[in-house]
């Protein structure tokens, strides 16, 4: 399976209804959101998605899901970008809950990946995908 990393910088884009979105996902099991994607030529529905908080501490992965659309062009802030939809399966509030921090992501084999990308929707190195999923699932275990 291919996997992609999407960056969220709260200084640039506010997530006004984050707590409501977490509650909706918890209650209904469904939440879809749209994200810019740099790897628009290779990304496909069904690919894994991880969302990392950048710009402000705490930095790290706080959400995951699956790509639920093919890339499409959309106008945002006066510019045209490729975007995709992500069906989220996990969403945490980084200001209220622990997240998978850079201290863990920058160890061992995972250290070879850039976890604080400038562009959203970059490919995660194929040889790291299974390890990342395992670390993410271990992190989420109670």
**Which pLDDT score is estimated for 40?**
87
Query: Tell me, what's the pLDDT at 88?
Result: 98
User: Which residues are within 8 A (CB) of 107 and not within 5 positions of it... i.e. 6 or more apart?
Assistant: none
From first to last of its 142 residues, the chain has per-residue pLDDT tens of 899 999 999 999 899 999 999 999 999 999 999 999 988 899 999 999 999 999 999 999 999 999 999 999 998 778 899 999 999 999 999 999 999 999 999 999 999 999 999 889 999 999 999 999 999 999 999 7
pTM of the entire structure?
Answer: 0.95
**pLDDT score for 76:** 78
Domains of the chain: residue spans and CATH: 3-136 (3.10.590)
Find the Cα–Cα–Cα–Cα dihedral 53, 133, 18, 95, rounded to 10°. -50
Burial zone of 44 (CB within 10 Å; 0-12 exposed, 13-18 middle, 19+ buried): exposed
Q: What is the pLDDT of residue 135?
A: 98
Strand, coil or helix: what is 43? coil
């Amino acid at each position: 399976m291919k996997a992609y990393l999407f960056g969220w910088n709260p200084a640039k884009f506010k997530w006004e209804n984050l707590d409501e979105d977490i509650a909706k996902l918890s209650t209904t099991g469904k939440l879809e959101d749209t994200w810019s994607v740099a790897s628009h030529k290779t990304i496909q529905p069904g690919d894994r998605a991880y969302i990392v908080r950048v710009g402000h501490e705490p930095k790290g992965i706080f959400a995951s899901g699956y790509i639920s659309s093919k890339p499409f062009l959309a106008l945002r802030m006066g510019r045209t970008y490729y975007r995709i939809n992500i069906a989220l399966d996990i969403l945490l509030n980084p200001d209220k809950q622990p997240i998978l921090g850079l201290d863990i992501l920058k160890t061992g084999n995972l250290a070879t990946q850039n976890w604080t990308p400038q562009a959203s929707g970059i490919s995660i190195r194929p040889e790291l995908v299974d390890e990342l999923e395992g670390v993410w699932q271990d992190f989420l275990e109670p």
